[in-house]
Amino acid sequence: MSVFLSFAFLAAILAHIGCNNQRRGPEASGRRFNRIQHGQCTYTFILPEQDGNCRESTTDQYNTNALQRDAPHVEQDFSSQKLQHLEHVMENYTQWLQKLENYIVENMKSEMVQLQQNAVQNHTATMLEIGTSLLSQTAEQTRKLTDVETQVLNQTSRLEIQLLENSLSTYKLEKQLLQQTHEILKIHEKNSLLEHRILEMEERHKEELDTLKEEKENLQSLVTRQSYIIQELEKQLNKATSNNSVLQKQQLELMDTVHTLITLCSKEGVLLKNAKKEEEKPFRDCADVYQSGFNKSGVYTIYINNVSDPKKVFCNMEVAGGGWTVIQHREDGSLDFQKSWKEYKMGFGSPSGEHWLGNEFIFAITSQRQYSLRIELMDWEGNRAYSQYDRFHIGNEKQNYRLYLKGHSGTAGKQSSLILHGAEFSTKDADNDNCMCKCALMLTGG
């Protein structure tokens, strides 16, 4: 910073002191410059130029009194005065310069203080602006942080709620898993029991299969031996059939004779009853009836061992050589076979139509001697098939009329004796089968 000060009034005073009543010509316009450096500031002072005009005016002044003094003496006085004057001027210059320097220093101090205050104010304003900006930014960041904190709290709350829900779901799933595990253990125990039973059944089946194989081999050997016998019997049967008509005629003649005798003995009823009993007693079953010469299918009266009353049965004299006692006959579905245990025990229906002979009578008949069982089947289209078992009998009521079969043959397909053999009788009100289902109730029959 440079400061240029013009002190014209100082120059005028100095000119007035040094050169009184002296006019300055054009040659006296020159100036002297004095520069003072103070820190960064430079001060320039303009001083008047001292020339020969002052000297001439002084000379002229002393010339007016030339007559009073000698010339050399005047010259010496002038030089001393001039020196004194110059010294006085220099002292004045020095004083003014000191004052000016003091003034400049004082002004510089005030200006420096003002500049410092301005700088401080500017710095303070800048700091205030920066502080205001920082405060606004801080407030904005605080608001953002508050929003973020709120979002974090909300998210934390949602996560806690979700965690509780997940905990409840996990507890429910664990409870269900425990229940399912318990059920699986129960099922595993049942499976183990069933596997044990199946193994036992397989062992029994193997034993029965071995027995059946032996029986099959025996039957095959019997078939080979009996085939010849059957052929011979067929020949004899043909001869017996040819003689049957003669026997029937003789039987009719005998029956006429018997009726005649009955009419003659009608007065003696007791004798007639005894005669009838003696006539009917020999027929234990339809085989006896057939062997007695009756070869026509129909209802006959038989006397069963250990049964006090006679029993009417239907005898089939046409199938497989005749003499078959019918224990069941189903034809058109006119009779309901969904009966109780008691009804199956005593029998139901009519011997000439659909009927069941009765478990007690079947047990009594099969207990007399060895019997065979033949099952005749015919579908609605008239196709026929049969199954025959060489040995057949049933147990008593205490044994639930257990079925015993042996030696199968026929065209209806081999019915597994593993199922039929040893099976107990069942009805709708007495379930004695080996199945978990009620077969009698499901199949609507005994």
Over residues 238-273, the pLDDT tens digits come to 776 766 666 766 777 777 777 777 777 765 554 445
Confidence check: pLDDT of 80 > 90: no
Q: Which of 86, 103, 134 corresponds to the end of one domain?
A: 134
Residue 286, in any domain of the structure: no
Confidence check: pLDDT of 11 > 50: no
Residue 183, in any domain of the structure: no
pLDDT of residue 369: 84
pLDDT of residue 184: 94
Strand ranges, E, within 63-111:
none
Q: Which of 134, 160, 180 corresponds to the end of one domain?
A: 134
pLDDT of residue 10: 42
pLDDT of residue 271: 45
- Which of 383 and 37 is assigned the larger pLDDT? 383
Task: Give the Cα separation of 412 and 409 in Å (integer).
Answer: 9
Residue 158, in any domain of the structure: no
Domain around 106? 2-134
Reported as a single tens digit per residue, the pLDDT across 116-165 is 788 778 878 888 888 888 888 888 888 888 888 898 889 888 899 989 99
Question: 81 Cβ partners below 8 Å, 6+ apart?
Answer: none
Task: Give the Cα separation of 266 and 269 in Å (integer).
Answer: 6
pLDDT of residue 17: 37
Task: Give the Cα separation of 87 and 78 in Å (integer).
Answer: 14
Residue 446, in any domain of the structure: yes
Counting beta carbons within 10 angstroms of the beta carbon of residue 183, is it exposed (0 to 12), middle (13 to 18) or buried (19 or more)? exposed
Percent of the chain with pLDDT over 90: 6
pLDDT of residue 385: 87
Residue 421, in any domain of the structure: yes
pLDDT of residue 171: 92
pLDDT of residue 69: 46
Q: Which of 79, 107, 134 corresponds to the end of one domain?
A: 134
Residue 215, in any domain of the structure: no
Q: How many CA atoms lie within 13 A of 37 on its CB side?
A: 2
Reported as a single tens digit per residue, the pLDDT across 374-391 is 888 888 888 888 888 888
Residue 167, in any domain of the structure: no
Confidence check: pLDDT of 60 > 60: no
pLDDT of residue 436: 56
pLDDT of residue 32: 56
Reported as a single tens digit per residue, the pLDDT across 218-233 is 888 888 887 888 888 7
Task: Give the Cα separation of 395 and 403 in Å (integer).
Answer: 7
Question: 405 Cβ partners below 8 Å, 6+ apart?
Answer: 373, 389, 391, 392, 417, 420, 421
Q: Domain count of the chain? A: 2
Reported as a single tens digit per residue, the pLDDT across 164-193 is 999 999 999 999 999 999 999 999 898 899
DSSP 3-state of 427:
strand
pLDDT of residue 310: 87
Residue 319, in any domain of the structure: no
Task: Give the Cα separation of 10 and 16 in Å (integer).
Answer: 10
Are 427 and 339 contacting, i.e. CB atoms less than 8 angstroms apart?
Answer: yes
What is the CA angle 370-251-277, rounded to 5?
Answer: 60
- Which of 214 and 442 is assigned the larger pLDDT? 214
Backbone angles phi, psi at 371, to 5 degrees: -130, 160
Query: Edge-to-edge strand order for the sheet containing 348-349?
Result: 328-329, 355-356, 348-349
- Which of 20 and 439 is assigned the larger pLDDT? 439
Where residue 392 sits, what CATH number does that domain have?
A: 3.90.215.10
